[in-house]
Amino acid sequence: MAPPTRAEIEADVALPFSRVEIHDGAAWVNVSADIVSIEDVIEATQGGDAVGFGVGIQPSLSIAIDQAAFDIAWEYRPVRISHGFGASSDIRRFIGLLTRRGRGYTSGVWQAEGWNVLISKTEIRSPLFRNRPVAVETTASSIDDPASVFYTGGLINYIFWQAGGRPYEQEATYPEAVFYYSLQPALMSPPFSWTHGENAMEAIYRCCRATGGVVYQDTQGVMRYIEPFSLADADPTFIYTDNKTNLGERVALNVGNYADISEDADIGPAVDTVICPFVIRQVQGVQEIYADKTPRLIEAGETITLDLDTSLPFVSLGTVTHVAAFPNNARTATTAQLTITVVSVLAQRITVLLANVTGSLIELFELKATGQPLMAAEQSTVTYTAASGRPYARDKTLEDMPLVQSRAYALRLCRLYWDFYSQPRPVVTLTDCGFDPDRTIGEIVGLDCAPWGYVAVPHRIIALRGKATGALMDVDLSPITGLPRRRDYYIVDQAYGPADVRKVAY
């Protein structure tokens, strides 16, 4: 038998190449020559919560650079990483923003984060949505532009759009979007939903916790909302195996190997009883919703813009009135002399233009607005409990969520949480898998593990951690057996045959 050739030896240990590009404000610039290594962490959840409803996570990247990169402008610059093999084209692995630089004498490191860092810093105020799913499915034809009169997007759609995102399905229409997002339809619609200038990313996570669902940035840099029933609704097409395989077998069987496996199963997130508080919101009659007695001088011919922030969201705006006078002759200024134009109405903000159309100075003494406020009424809790088979029960009280506004809604949420969290979902870590850019967050893969008795047991990829060598990566999985699946339920606008049997959901 002839000794192995170098080609044969190297064929099993192919190193990927990486392309690192930074946007300089005009175009993407390839800086790969100045990059030493890359370690990335792409996750869908963390903290032992393998399901991850509304878990606030973001991808992160650590890029080792050489001295030549010191002159590259990095502050908040978009960065994108792609990987390929040999002469192949590359596959996008990460898009985000550079947020830190550390350096020593002749080397340094960039830290990059996902779009979370941009979205969370964007101050967003929304209209008051009524009976609207928090996430409306994005498609090639969905209307996600809030300026459209046909807009039907939910709160998550609205926040992403206002932060500069555009639907991934409409990438061709918006080639210069800051980032892209892709949303599945949310299961539940709160009676009222809105955001008023809080941390926008936290508002999105709160929507996920109030409706079930996961938001994360995938390896393409797309912000994704996955509704709960889709988390486990796929069959594995790739298997991580502990069987000995060669290249040909790995390609033919679509399998990959791992060097080691570990599992961490924490009873922490598991529940027997779910308790959910709710607050009923009531629309009140027309009353004063804003009053401001700050004196203001408005010069002749001047127009000022004021944002009137109400303490409560309001369903409808009545009137906006003022008390104003001409200080020079003590006469009242009428609304024909100091005109009021309402330019925008959001859930808790009215933007008005006040125009002094006279030739004299006007002093504004008081500004009032009336409308129908949305007030908190009855507060209570609901409970759902079912046997888990454990010797001791575990209770979980969900946080106070403004979007949970009825008893029926709270009960649905309790059932949802119980179905997904009644059993502990371990995090399975596969160590030192071969680097594989085809693996994506949320993908359903099979797992073989002879000592555990596993044969192609379906799992969901919840984290991918590339190593600095570029050759290997760690993969976190979570088993999906027993989770509700979309295929098992009647789906609105789908067709069924006369013999079909399906479940009905929350």
Partner 1 sequence: MGGLFAAYEDSQGLPRNVAVSATLINVYRSNLQLIDRISRLGRHAFQGGWGNPQERGGVNPYREWWGAFRVVPGITGITFVMRATGFISPNDRLQLYLDGVLHHSFAIAAGTQTYSIGLPGGLSVNQVVDVQLNIARLGDLPEITWDAIFELRDGYVAPVQTSASWPGVPSFTVDPFSTVISGDKFDQLADAIDYLARQIGLRTEPLYQSLIRQTGPFEGQDTVRWDGGTVRSANVDRLKAFGLVIVFNSAQVEQVRIFINGGLADTYAVPTTIGEHSWAFDLDVSGYALDSQLDIVIDHVRLAGGGNDEGPLNRFTLYRVFTEQTSIGAIGYPLPLEINAAYGIVYFISVLAALSAIADVLKARIDASPDLWQRQRLFRRRYAYDDKQNEWYEPGMLASRFGREGEVLFVKGKGLTLGYGSIAWEEDATKLNEVGLYNFTALRQESIADGDAISTRIVYLDNVEGLFGGVPYHVRGVDLNYAAETMIADVR
Which CB atom, from 181 or from 258, has the smaller least distance to partner 1? 181
Contact between residue 313 and residue 192 where contact means Cβ atoms under 8 Å apart:
yes
The residue behind tokens 């906006």 is: 320
Please check whether residue 442 is in contact with residue 232, taking contact to mean a CB–CB distance below 8 angstroms: no
121 neighbors 202 (Cβ within 8 angstroms): no
Is residue 287 helix, strand or coil?
strand
Instruction: Select the span of 75-83, 245-253, 282-290, 330-338 touching partner 1 (CB under 8 A).
Output: 282-290
Residue 194 found at the interface with partner 1 (CB under 8 A): no
13-21, 84-92, 180-188, 296-304 -> range binding partner 1 (CB under 8 A): 180-188
Q: Is 451 in the site for partner 1 (CB under 8 A)?
A: no
Binder among 254, 406, 429, 431 for partner 1 (CB under 8 A): 406
The footprint of partner 1 on residues 292-331 (CB under 8 A) is none
494 binds partner 1 (CB under 8 A): yes
Asked if 185 touches partner 1 (CB under 8 A), the answer is: yes
Amino acid at 492: V
492 interacts with partner 1 by CB under 8 A: yes
> Considering only 94-102, 130-138, 172-180, 468-476, which stretch makes contact with partner 1 by CB under 8 A?
130-138
Task: Let me know if 406 is exposed, middle or buried by CB neighbors in 10 A (0-12, 13-18, 19+).
Answer: middle
Piece of the chain touching partner 1 by CB under 8 A; list 17-25, 108-116, 131-139, 423-431: 131-139
Q: Does 493 bind partner 1 (CB under 8 A)?
A: yes
| CB of residue 421 to partner 1, shortest distance in Å | 15
Task: Give the residue with the Cβ less far from partner 1, 5 or 141.
Answer: 141
Site string for partner 1, 356-375 (x = CB under 8 A): ----------------x---
Which is it for strands 165-167 and 179-183: parallel, antiparallel or unpaired? parallel
Phi, psi of 324 (to 5 degrees): -145, 160
Choice from 32, 67, 282, 383 touching partner 1 (CB under 8 A):
282
Identified binder of partner 1 from the candidate list 47, 48, 84, 191, rule CB under 8 A:
191
Under the criterion CB under 8 A, does residue 379 sit at the interface with partner 1?
no
Query: Which is nearer to partner 1, 353 or 377 (by Cβ)?
Result: 377
DSSP string across 469-486: TSSEEEEEEEE-TTS--G
Instruction: From 361-369, 426-434, 443-451, 487-495, give the range in contact with partner 1 by CB under 8 A.
Output: 487-495
- CB distance 424 to 270 below 8 Å: yes
Determine, following the binding rule CB under 8 A, whether residue 144 of this chain makes contact with partner 1: no
| Residue 159, φ and ψ in degrees, nearest 5 | -65, -45
Give CA separation, 5 vs 8, 15, 16, 86, in Å: 5, 18, 21, 18
**Closest CB to partner 1 among residues 6, 503:** 503
Q: Stretches 5-13, 188-196, 218-226, 350-358: which one binds partner 1 (CB under 8 A)?
A: 188-196
125 near partner 1, judged by CB under 8 A = no
Between CA 43 and CA 59 the distance in angstroms is 6
Per DSSP, which regions of 6-68 are E strands? 16-23, 28-30, 35-43, 60-66
CA 54 to chain centroid? 8
For the chain, the straight-line distance linking the first and the last C-alpha, in angstroms and rounded, comes to 65
Q: Which of 165, 186, 129 is nearest to 348 (CA)?
A: 129
For position 189 contacting partner 1 by CB under 8 A, the verdict is yes
Contact 481, 231 (CB under 8 A): no
Nearer to partner 1, 68 or 376 (CB): 376
Task: Find, among 183, 244, 263, 170, the residue nearest to 215 by Cα.
Answer: 183
Task: Strand 303-309: give its sheet, edge to edge.
Answer: 303-309, 349-356, 338-345
Measured from the CB atom, is 34 or 419 closer to partner 1? 419
Q: Work out whether 383 is an interface residue with partner 1 (CB under 8 A).
A: no
User: Which residue of 412, 425, 459, 465 would you call a contact of partner 1, by CB under 8 A?
Assistant: 412
Residue 248: its H or E element: helix 247-253
Contacts of residue 148, defined as CB under 8 A and 6 or more positions apart, other chains included, come to: none
Structure tokens at 213: 């669902």
Total number of residues that touch partner 1 (CB under 8 A): 48
Residue 506 in the binding site for partner 1 (CB under 8 A): yes
Helix (H), strand (E) at residue 203:
helix 200-211
Find the shortest distance in angstroms from Cβ 462 to partner 1.
23
501 binds partner 1 per the rule CB under 8 A: yes
**Torsion angle in degrees (nearest 10) through CA of 398, 402, 406, 408:** -40
When asked if residue 75 is in the footprint of partner 1 (CB under 8 A), the reply is no
Q: Does position 188 bind partner 1 by CB under 8 A? A: yes
Restricting to residues 224-243, name those near partner 1 by CB under 8 A: 227, 229
Cβ atoms within 10 A of the Cβ of 20, count?
A: 23
Does residue 387 belong to the site contacting partner 1 (CB under 8 A)?
no
Q: Which residues bind partner 1 (CB under 8 A)?
A: 131, 133, 136-137, 185-189, 191, 227, 229, 280, 282-286, 372, 377-378, 406, 408-409, 411-412, 415, 419, 484, 486, 489-506
